[in-house]
Structure 1
Amino acid sequence: MAEKTLAILFHETLKDVYYAERKILKALPKMARGATSSKLKAAFEKHRDETEVHVERLQQVFDILGKPARGKTCDAIEGILAEGDEILEDFKGQAALDAGLASAAQAVEHYEIARYGTLSRWAGDLGMKDITLQEETKTDEALTALAEGSLNPAAIAA
């Protein structure tokens, strides 16, 4: 059996996050359509645009590695997105819907922050100076501000 190196683990994790970003790209329009807050809809639309850039950057990393841009099924993101679908279904028409959607989006962001942080660190450890992958913290901060500013108080008041 061949040795499993950090470079191999980096590549496998890169495939995982590539899959996740592409799934997120498909889920965001559905979340935006489900949101009732115009600010939350706009946040989802902005995140979709940012996610398109993330997918392109990941494709560039695959190019740097000389590997095809190919994802592998990520059970974690599948579960997180399924929870978002549950919120859309279970809270449709309810005051807490937007708070739930923002929470689901933050779960996605936290997953991405963990993956990108790990990949960025490993890239440095592996001497890949051209690869920096720290994309997600701004979106998480914006969702927190939105939840604290209007979504959560609206859900509480209902």
Structure 2
Amino acid sequence: MINNLEQLYIDQLRDLFSAETQLVAAIPDMAANATDEALRDAFNHHLDETRTQRARLQEIFGFHGIAPEGEDCDAMRGLIKEATKHIANTQKGSVRDAVLIASGNRVEHYEIAAYGLARAFAECLGYDEDVKLLTKSIEEEGAADQTLTKIASGGLFRDGVNEEAAH
């Protein structure tokens, strides 16, 4: 039973830790399914960031003397499951790359919201060091989202997907 903001904050951090752990396992598959080199590189770069974000969360848990385990992020599990289903149902090429971008954007938006909420709780609780670390992760998630959108709008959606549809 969660009885106060600090307990809710810890619950949210554990949810984020679970989400990041699931992504460390899922991102390599997303990169392997990408045919666009820039997209594959973006996934591989974000895998390194995801590992760093998980390490930041471990650092925050250390500040508070608690274990990161104890929560399973069902939302991330669902986002990964949905991405896996769509990847399996899409022919390799630009259309699958578009699916990967859509799935990646959804994941990034979830993480931006989750980190933003955790940071707001940390601010209310006066956990200044936590706020700094959470802010770094929010910035990285936002940049990853922008990178995926740039790849899509830079030609993949306009050229690659439309060309495949014409055939």
Structure-1-length-normalised TM-score:
0.95
Q: Which runs of 5+ in 1 are unaligned?
A: none
Once residues 115 and 73 of structure 2 are traced to their aligned partners in structure 1, the CA distance between those partners, rounded to angstroms, is: 14
> Residue type of the partner of 2:6?
A
- 1:87 aligned onto 2:86: yes
Structure-2 residue corresponding to 1:39: 38
Q: C-alpha root-mean-square deviation of aligned residues, in Å?
A: 1.3
Higher helix share: 2
Contact 1:17–1:115 (Cα < 8 Å) also in 2? yes
Contact 2:15–2:72 (Cα < 8 Å) also in 1? yes
Aligned match for 2:148, one of 136, 140, 143 = 143
- 1:155 aligned onto 2:155: no
What is the DSSP-based 3-state SS (H/G/I as helix, E as strand, rest coil) of the residue aligned with 1:93? coil
Once residues 64 and 151 of structure 1 are traced to their aligned partners in structure 2, the CA distance between those partners, rounded to angstroms, is: 44
Contact 2:21–2:54 (Cα < 8 Å) also in 1? yes
Contact 1:18–1:71 (Cα < 8 Å) also in 2? no
List structure 1 runs of 4+ shifted beyond 2 angstroms. 92-95
Structure-2 residue corresponding to 1:24: 23
Q: What does the per-residue CA deviation read over 1:51-70, in whole Å, with 9 as the maximum and x for residues that have no partner?
A: 01001000001001110121
Number of residue pairs matched by the alignment: 157
Instruction: Determine what percentage of the aligned residue pairs are the same residue.
Output: 34
Q: Which runs of 5+ in 2 are unaligned?
A: none
